[in-house]
């Protein structure tokens, strides 16, 4: 189910990126296209409808723009829990995640929304292994 970048819809949906001088059309389009590399719509795990697929790609674009803007402004994208001045120590709070991809998504509010959306549309996953005897009361051959 292919999706396409809709600049007017994106700017209306994410007012933080409405400034056409700070976020020109080419920047938005490039970020959106790059974001589609992170979200596969043909992997068999996610059960998208068209609106969810479009929103997922828009959220990924907003996530990339948010992170790039923060980096360009010299800001960090983590939660600072402690800082020092003498030898310059900064402590960040890691979000409760299980993978680097989840940590990366947790670094922006748009990534957090995307993670929540992906959890909603994700299937239960693939089951590999096991034996047909576990599906009944008796093992194959009638033995318990």
| Residue 57, C-beta contacts closer than 8 angstroms, at least 6 positions apart | 3, 5, 32, 35, 36, 39
The pLDDT value recorded for residue 48 is 75
Q: Pick the residue with more confidence: 38 or 111?
A: 111
Q: Mean pLDDT across the chain, nearest whole number?
A: 79
9-29: pLDDT as tens digits: 999 999 999 999 999 999 999
DSSP 82: E
2 or 79: which leads in pLDDT: 2
Give the per-residue pLDDT at 119: 83
Q: What is the pLDDT of residue 36?
A: 87
The reported pLDDT for the residue numbered 8 is: 95
| Terminal CA-CA length for the chain | 47
> How far, in Å, CA of 36 to CA of 121, rounded?
16
pLDDT tens string 108-141: 899 999 988 888 877 655 445 555 555 555 556 6
Q: Maximum CA pair distance of the chain?
A: 74
């Amino acid at each position: 189910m292919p999706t396409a970048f809709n600049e007017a819809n994106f700017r209306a949906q994410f007012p933080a990126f409405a400034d056409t001088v700070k976020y020109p059309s080419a920047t938005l389009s490039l970020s959106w296209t790059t974001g589609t590399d992170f979200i596969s719509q043909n992997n068999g795990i996610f059960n998208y409808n068209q609106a969810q697929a479009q929103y997922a790609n828009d959220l990924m674009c907003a996530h990339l723009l948010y992170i790039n803007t923060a980096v360009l402004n010299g800001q960090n994208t983590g939660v600072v829990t402690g800082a020092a001045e003498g030898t310059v120590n900064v402590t960040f709070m890691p979000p409760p995640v299980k993978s680097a991809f989840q940590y990366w998504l947790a670094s922006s509010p748009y990534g957090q929304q995307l993670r929540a959306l992906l959890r909603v549309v994700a299937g239960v996953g693939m089951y590999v292994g096991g034996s047909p005897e576990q599906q009944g009361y008796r093992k194959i051959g009638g033995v318990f």
